[in-house]
DNA sequence: CCGTTATATAGATAATTGTCTATGCTATTA
DNA sequence: TAATAGCATAGACAATTATCTATATAACGG
């Protein structure tokens, strides 16, 4: 695993807001201009700009200027990165990111003496 | 799509923290007790308890008590829910969640007169 | 029962976040 | 070049978050 946890935090943070989730979902239909996006929310223009900056900075969304208009679209590659992480987590295995850095074998009572039944 | 954006927000929020990401990654290796998890961080026990509550409440992690010890493991089904959403977003198509609720056709200059080239 | 161990809760606090209004910047157009 | 339209930035502010210390609760062992 080449990425660290910290690298994924901004991505999950970008998705951790109802407005931004709806923005990304709207962009699923294709590229949209900022003014069109704005019509779908009860927020002010600066607030939308704030959200678009978070989505752009994280790489989830790509921005393109055409004159005075800004067009936004989803960035599939970055979304794939998140999917890949979830896939790694989903497939229970013996090599988590942390295990690469050292031994996480537990020597406490809870893991040896009685032992966790579900292991 | 049966879920709304708001349903996913707590899930992404749960992942939007470096400590919690590491916890989930550690649990990829299998079930672990709280005390064992704690040894992997420079945080206090109440702080770990706080994080485990967020992960448990969101459904990402399952908790199981055995005497005084708490054992935690990942909940694959909930993680799959997030993966499915990302898959929907990834596959650009003509039916986003919002489109089900109404028309998002844009009648502004930016989308008609000049028109967005990349469409 | 009483002490110990593991975990959870309460309260405090500094940092971050999402929103607004006001304003600045940039590009098109008259 | 002056006015306008679209978007970004600055500053203010209330709400949320992540962390700590202190304390409570729960379960086991003697």
Residue B101's pLDDT is: 46
Residue (of B8, B116, B119) closest to A25 by Cα position: B8
Q: Determine the average pLDDT of the residues in A72-85.
A: 95
> CA–C1' distance B55–C29 (Å)?
55
**Do residue A89 and residue B13 have CB atoms under 8 angstroms apart?**
no
Among A4-13, A37-46, A104-113, B26-35, whose mean pLDDT is lowest? Answer: A104-113
Q: Indicate the average pLDDT of chain A.
A: 85
Q: Which nucleotide is nearest to B46 (CA to C1')?
A: C8
Domain extent at residue B84: 1-119
Q: Which two tokens stand for residue A85?
A: 């992480």
- The strand pairing partners of B71, in sequence order, are B33, B64
Instruction: For residue B63, give the H/E element and its range.
Output: strand B61-66
Q: Which of B21, B96, B119 sits opposite A5 (nearest CB)?
A: B21
Query: How far apart are the C-alpha atoms of B103 and B99, rounded to whole Å?
Result: 6
Q: How many domains does chain A have?
A: 1
- Confidence class for position A76, pLDDT limits 50, 70, 90: very high
Contact A96 B29 (CB under 8 A): yes
Q: At what angle do helices A5-15 and A18-27 cross, to 10 degrees?
A: 90
**Which residues, other chains included, contact A50 with Cβ-Cβ below 8 Å and sequence gap of 6+?**
none
Structure-model confidence comparison of residues B31 and A119, the more confident one: B31
For residue B100, what pLDDT is reported?
47
Question: For the complex shown, is ipTM > 0.85?
Answer: yes
Contact predicate A34/A52, CB 8 Å: yes
Higher model confidence: residue B91 or residue A36?
Answer: A36
Q: Which residues contact B48 (CB under 8 A, 6 or more apart)?
A: B34, B37, B38, B41
d(CA B115, CA A118): 59
Q: Is residue A88 a part of any domain in this protein?
A: no
Q: What is the mean pLDDT of residues A29-49?
A: 95
A50 to chain B nearest CA, in Å?
A: 18
Give the pLDDT confidence score for residue B107 in this predicted structure: 64
pLDDT at A75 over 90: yes
* Span CA (B115) to C1' (C29), Å: 18
Q: Is the CB of A70 under 7 A from strand D?
A: yes
A84 within domain boundaries: no
- Report chain B (119 residues): mean pLDDT per 10 consecutive residues: 82 98 94 95 97 98 95 96 92 60 58 55
Q: Is the pLDDT of residue A116 over 70?
A: no
In a domain, A119, yes or no: no
pLDDT band at A2 (very low <50, low <70, confident <90, very high): low
* pLDDT score for B51: 98
A10 domain-assigned: yes
* Residue at A110 is within a domain: no
- CA–C1' B34–D22 (A): 21
pLDDT at A101: 47
- Are A88 and B99 in contact by the 8 Å Cβ rule? The answer is no
Residue A41 lies in a domain: yes
CATH assignment of the domain containing B17: 1.10.10.10
Mean pLDDT is lowest, of A64-73, A78-87, A93-102, for: A93-102
Q: State pLDDT tens for residues A86-112.
A: 998 988 665 555 554 444 456 677 776
């Amino acid at each position: 695993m080449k990425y660290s946890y910290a690298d994924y935090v901004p991505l999950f943070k970008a998705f951790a807001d109802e407005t931004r989730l709806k923005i990304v979902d709207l962009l699923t239909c294709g590229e949209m201009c900022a003014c069109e996006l704005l019509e779908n929310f009860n927020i002010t223009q600066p607030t939308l700009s704030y959200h678009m900056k978070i989505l752009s900075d994280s790489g989830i969304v790509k921005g393109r200027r055409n004159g005075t208009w800004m067009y936004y679209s989803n960035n599939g590659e970055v979304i794939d990165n998140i999917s890949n992480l979830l896939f790694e987590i989903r497939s229970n295995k013996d090599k988590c990111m942390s295990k690469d850095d050292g031994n996480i074998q537990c020597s406490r009572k809870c893991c040896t003496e009685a032992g966790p039944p579900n292991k």
